[in-house]
């Protein structure tokens, strides 16, 4: 892990907001910009990156010296996921410490090599996995993913506050499902509300990295193992992911190398 320049956590307060889709497309966008990138699927209970990257079921990471895991490479990314270690039908009926131990093993015992960025696709919420990451990794910054609806924004605020509590910069907000454009007539409709991502970005003084539409193509492409940045590099959605990737790079450059730090121990108190 000493060979990784920046670790970026992609997080959300709740599930179903497109966090994993954002993670894989952000990682691929950074790769297309010429960076060396890894992608860690830290969602122990519901790993999805294997499907999104089109990696065949049953693929297992190779081992070195009986101690280290070699990352599985896909589309120029070095990847690791619980999905490589169990079958897709295996339920992870684990208590928190077991899940935390699995994350620590994937993080610390994977031979990542030299990377400019390691993108970590976090599970939703602010629970055991987030606490384990806080104690095991040096995190440069976090990207918060949300949808415009008030319930999602409320949970996104909790994610922002969590990272602020442990002194990790929030690099920006990615708003998914911002608008639906009818494929037949072109009518635009804000199904989940309007300008929610911009409001929360303004409230916390962080940039809105991208505002992505509710797009059938994004869903179809990730389900088929060809995420948007790979499947259609010239489309408007890919341009938005590239814009977000450049903004993340710029934010880390402005903050300098001292942003890479060890998380402090987290303590919960009433105040």
Q: Is residue 90 part of a domain?
A: no
Mapping DSSP to helix (H, G, I), strand (E, B) and coil, where does residue 147 land?
A: coil
- Paired residues of 188 in beta bridges: 181
Between the CA atoms of 106, 10, 255 and 76, what dihedral angle is there, to the nearest 10 degrees?
60
Q: Is residue 213 part of a domain?
A: yes
For residue 94, pLDDT over 70 is answered with no
Distance CA 251, CA 51 (A): 30
Contact 47, 80 (CB under 8 A): no
Position 262 scores a pLDDT of 46
Q: Is residue 15 part of a domain?
A: yes
Q: Is residue 141 part of a domain?
A: yes
Q: Is residue 101 part of a domain?
A: no
Tell me the pLDDT tens digit for each residue of 149-165.
Answer: 888 888 888 888 888 88
Distance CA 196, CA 270 (A): 29
Contact 9, 139 (CB under 8 A): yes
Tally of structural domains, the chain: 1
Mean local confidence (pLDDT), 243-271: 67
Of 55-69, 142-156, 236-250, where does the model show the most confidence?
236-250
Q: Is residue 206 part of a domain?
A: yes
Point out the least confidently predicted range of 24-33, 82-91, 136-145, 197-206. 82-91
- Residue pointed to by tokens 């919420």: 125
Position 100 scores a pLDDT of 64
Q: Is residue 191 part of a domain?
A: yes
- Paired residues of 22 in beta bridges: none
Q: What is the DSSP string of 159-208?
A: HHHHHHHTT--EEEEEE-S--EE-TTT--EE-TT-SSHHHHHHHHHT--E
Q: Which domain holds residue 203?
A: 4-42+114-259
Position 151 scores a pLDDT of 83
Q: What is the DSSP string of 68-133?
A: EEPPEEETTEEEEEGGGTS-TT------HHHHHHHHHHHHHSB---SEEEEEEEPPSSSSHHHHHH
CATH code, domain carrying 162? 3.40.50.300
Phi and psi at residue 73, in whole multiples of 5°?
Answer: -95, 135
């Amino acid at each position: 892990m000493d060979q990784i320049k920046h670790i970026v956590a992609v997080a959300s307060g709740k599930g179903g907001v497109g966090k994993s889709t954002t993670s894989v497309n952000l990682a691929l966008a950074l790769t297309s910009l010429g960076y060396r990138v890894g992608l860690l699927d830290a969602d122990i209970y519901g790993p999805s990156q294997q499907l999104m990257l089109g990696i065949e079921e049953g693929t297992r990471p190779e081992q070195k010296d009986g101690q280290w895991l070699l990352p599985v490479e896909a589309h120029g990314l070095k990847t690791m996921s619980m999905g490589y270690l169990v079958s897709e039908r295996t339920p992870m009926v684990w208590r928190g410490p077991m899940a935390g131990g699995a994350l620590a093993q994937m993080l610390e015992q994977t031979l990542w090599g030299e990377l400019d960025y390691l993108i970590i696709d976090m599970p939703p919420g602010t629970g055991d996995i987030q606490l384990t990451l806080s104690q095991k990794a040096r995190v440069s910054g976090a990207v918060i993913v949300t949808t415009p609806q008030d319930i999602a924004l409320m949970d996104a605020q909790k994610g922002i506050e969590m990272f602020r509590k442990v002194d990790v910069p929030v690099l920006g907000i990615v708003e998914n499902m911002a608008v639906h454009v009818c494929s037949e007539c072109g009518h635009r409709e804000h199904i989940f509300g309007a300008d929610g991502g911009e409001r929360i970005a303004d409230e916390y003084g962080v940039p809105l990295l991208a505002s992505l539409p509710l797009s059938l193509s994004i869903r179809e492409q990730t389900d088929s193992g060809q995420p948007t940045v790979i499947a259609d590099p010239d489309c408007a959605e890919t341009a938005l992911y590239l814009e977000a990737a450049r903004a993340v790079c710029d934010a880390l450059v402005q903050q300098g190398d001292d942003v890479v730090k060890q998380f402090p121990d987290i303590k919960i108190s009433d105040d």
